[in-house]
Amino acid sequence: MRYLITLAARSAWNRRLALGMTMVSIALATALLLSIAHLRHDAREGFAQSVAGTDLIVGARASPVQLMLYAVFRIGDPSQNMRWASARKLARHPAVAWSIPLSLGDSHHGFPVLGTSADYFAHFGYGDRQKLRFETGKPFESVFDAVLGAEVARKLHYQSGQKIVLTHGAG
């Protein structure tokens, strides 16, 4: 038995470079696997918190993943809008407690524009169901009012009450 251990040790010493590279490869593969598992868990947690309170996303014909990614995270390209009559019909359904209509695809100086209703401010939450807050101003009251994100207002040097012009498309 002692002879086998000595033989194995000498063999390993003669192949020390290959053995070392193998050990490093196994260590890197294990670290990579654990890192991916950790990232996957964190991504799943973040996703679950982001869509908390959202039971159903309805839109015009598109890939379900594309619709969800753009409607919730503004990732990817917007799908076509559904007809307003269809959105209202769904909102009036007895099983629907509330709905938030979203119209996506327009922009203002490169920033995406989200067309919606006052229900957005009443029901939309982000993260762990945190409600939207206003640094200045308030939710819109008429069809021609707009609410800007604080970061967009700072970057474009806008003040509350200032008039803006929107463009159609992503330009």
Domain ranges for the chain, please list them.
2-49, 51-156
Rounded-to-10 torsion of CA 79, 80, 83, 89: -10
CB contact burial 83-92 (16+ within 10 A = b; e otherwise): eeeebeeeee
| 3 state DSSP class of 127 | coil
What average pLDDT does the segment 96-110 reach? 85
Predicted local distance difference test score (pLDDT) of residue 93: 94
Predicted local distance difference test score (pLDDT) of residue 51: 66
Give the rounded distance of the alpha carbon of 39 from its chain centre.
Answer: 15
Predicted local distance difference test score (pLDDT) of residue 7: 87
Predicted local distance difference test score (pLDDT) of residue 170: 60
pLDDT bucket at 144, cuts 50 / 70 / 90: confident
pLDDT: which is higher, 144 or 49: 144
| 3 state DSSP class of 16 | helix
pLDDT: which is higher, 111 or 54: 111
Predicted local distance difference test score (pLDDT) of residue 3: 86
Greatest C-alpha distance within the chain: 90
Average pLDDT for the chain: 85
pLDDT of 119 over the 60 cut = yes
Predicted local distance difference test score (pLDDT) of residue 22: 94
